[in-house]
Structure 1
């Protein structure tokens, strides 16, 4: 269970990296077994096994195959593994020159070729000047381990060169594939972060739109209640405070609904709410047209326009008259006596994003006498 959980916890790139590393290690094991079977003496088999262990250590130390990026085997692993393979290669050349019998000569030659082949699959493909090292090793190995046979030396050089080209191309393709997988993994991470950021932006925009009007209404009606109370009209003041309580409860319900992820909003209800809020703020709302004229696909966004536009009238004007026009191809909200500029915090930017999502456009015009909010969509 623990092993299964560990595997499932790995990312896609880590799994592919681990698979590539195990594949290379398995290839080295197969190569070592094949070379050991071809060896004629115990000491040459032992040398080949030592070379195989060194080659596996070299692969394990390669950063390209690290399951966790940046976490590889101990720093000394690769130098020690490389030095071991070089030592076996050089030692085989020395034994070939000192050997007095054919069996020893063959065993040394097998060890030397094995060290070169293991280096081709574990060290050279990851080196900086890999192609020059391959050419040098292919040319030098016949001189070292085939010193007594020129024909074998030329054949061995060609074999090493072709094998090395195959090993390097295979390794670089694998590393390239690992890079592609890493890029895809990073792209998935960035996409997830963007989705989270987009959802946070949506939630903050919706919270502003939902709670903003409620707070504006509470503030306006509270000020009205205070003024009525000071004027001695306690009955109307109490009525206004009752409405404040109702608005607060409604705002809390809307916020809970928003948190649950539902954003149902009714156009007719928003028009009625806008008329009530603006009336409390001393502004008369005139409605031209009817909500039924607005295409069904744009009912929700039109309701958000009414809500945000009403909030802006309360917060950014001293309006006494506002006009809401509803039609089949668009809508508008006009008010007199604007104060200052709307600015970015008004929620209009979020409103523009809502409109863009359904193919509608937002137009804003401000004059000394009035402010106009115009929305256009395709008649459906």
Structure 2
């Protein structure tokens, strides 16, 4: 189902943000129900419902609770919600001060206090000068809604103040927790990239250590052979060139051994390594089929596909799910949430060349929010 797929595409941090936002929205719904039940007539109930809708919209527009950190789908909802809450608070205060009917006064006070509590919960904790605003609202509400700083007004001010302190502390602790989750998510991505970089550095270091000395000797002896030839000592020049040929052959053999050791990788081991690496990057790898189904002649190149494809997912996507399919006629590696143009992925061009050398083909496909490597071969 589309809803299920959308949920699985979210990262762990995004899921936690969504859960937190829905929890706060649930609290607003509970507050609206409790305040509406305690209201005496239909008019304050409608006002309380409008207040709840405004508070819910304010929470949806808060960047701290966005599914993607700092990205809000409808940022204009926040100023509109604030205007609605302030307007209802002010209108309720005016009605409560000037109305002569007791039921009207009580209804206006219910709406005004609801606007204050919703603002304390959904708006004030996210503002810059939250503590001063809370003190001001707590002091102004008794005068505006109750018309007196004493008695019920004083009790209302104390309730507003302590409710605001609790809401601000709860909200800031929640936002702090979201920040820690985001930092852990970024750390996982960095760890995966470091593992890829470490593997590349290992191979380049081994290549330099194994082959570099041989090539240096070839260069020195070649220069010596040229100098001897110019000096007329052809016998020694020929001997030096013989040694150059021997060194070149030995160096090429060492390089082939090194590359073969790097490329002669086990398919099952690469699948296990890919699962570990992608897990560190926050991506779940699902394996369909079995490595035993892959023809023996293509085991090595299939393992290389897994390695290069995994590197491609880590470097060029924000994937949360990947699917590796292994079969007798080919294999595929798919991932969601690709990033960047296909042409930028030079590693895939090299992979295509490796596959062509063994009679296999590589197809690259993008469909919506999915990137896929399709490899086909004929059984030998």
2:46 corresponding residue in structure 1: 46
Q: Which residue of 1 aligns with 2:303?
A: none
Q: 2:29 aligns to what?
A: 29
Relative distance call for 1:70 and 1:102 in structure 2 (3 A) is: same
Number of residue equivalences:
262
- Rate the CA distance shift 1:215–1:137 in 2: closer, same or farther, 3 A: same
Residues 217 and 71 (structure 1 numbering): CA distance in 2 closer, same or farther, change over 3 Å? same
CA distance in 1, matches of 2:203, 2:138: 65
Per-residue CA distance 1:79-130 (angstroms, 9 max, x = gap) = 1111100111111111112323222222111101100000010011111111
In 1, Cα distance between equivalents of 2:174 and 2:16: 10
| Structure 2 Cα separation of the partners of residues 139 and 165 of structure 1 | 14
Residue 204 of structure 2 corresponds to 204
Q: Which residue of structure 2 lines up, in the alignment, with residue 375 of structure 1?
A: none
- With 201-210 and 105-114 compared, the bigger mean Cα shift is at 201-210
Structure 2 counterpart of 1:353: none
> CA separation in 2, counterparts of 1:38 and 1:175?
32
The corresponding residue for 1:56 is: 56
Specify the alignment match of 1:270 in structure 2. Answer: none
Root mean square deviation of aligned Cα? 3.2
| Residues 206 and 100 of structure 1: CA distance in aligned 2, closer, same or farther (over 3 Å) | same
Q: 1:33 & 1:43 partners in 2: Cα distance?
A: 15
What TM-score, normalized by structure 1, do the two folds share?
Answer: 0.60
Residue 190 of structure 1 is matched in structure 2 by 190
CA deviation profile, 1:307-366 (whole Å, cap 9, x unmatched): xxxxxxxxxxxxxxxxxxxxxxxxxxxxxxxxxxxxxxxxxxxxxxxxxxxxxxxxxxxx
Inter-partner Cα distance in structure 2 for 1:152 and 1:261 = 82
1:4 aligns with 2:7: no
Structure 2 distance, partners of 1:171, 1:188, is 26
SS at match of 1:166: helix
SS in 1 for 2:74: coil
Q: Show the counterpart of 1:78.
A: 78
The one of 253, 257, 260 equivalent to 2:256 is 253
State whether residues 96 and 145 of structure 2, in contact with CA within 8 Å, keep that contact through their aligned partners in structure 1. yes
Aligned to 2:164: 164
The residue number in structure 1 matching 2:151 is 151
Separation in 1 of the partners of 2:218 and 2:22? Answer: 67
1:232 is displaced (CA, Å) by 7.7
The normalised TM-score by structure 2 is 0.60
Contact 2:18 2:66 in 1 (8 A): yes
Unaligned runs of 5+ in 2: 266-380
SS at match of 1:71: coil
**Superposed, which structure 2 residues align to 1:310-329 within 5 Å?**
none
Larger Rg: 1
What SS is found at the alignment partner of 1:67?
coil
Do the aligned residues in 2 keep the contact of 1:96 with 1:108 (CA within 8 Å)?
yes
Task: Give yes or no for contact 2:56–2:122 (8 Å, CA) kept in 1.
Answer: yes
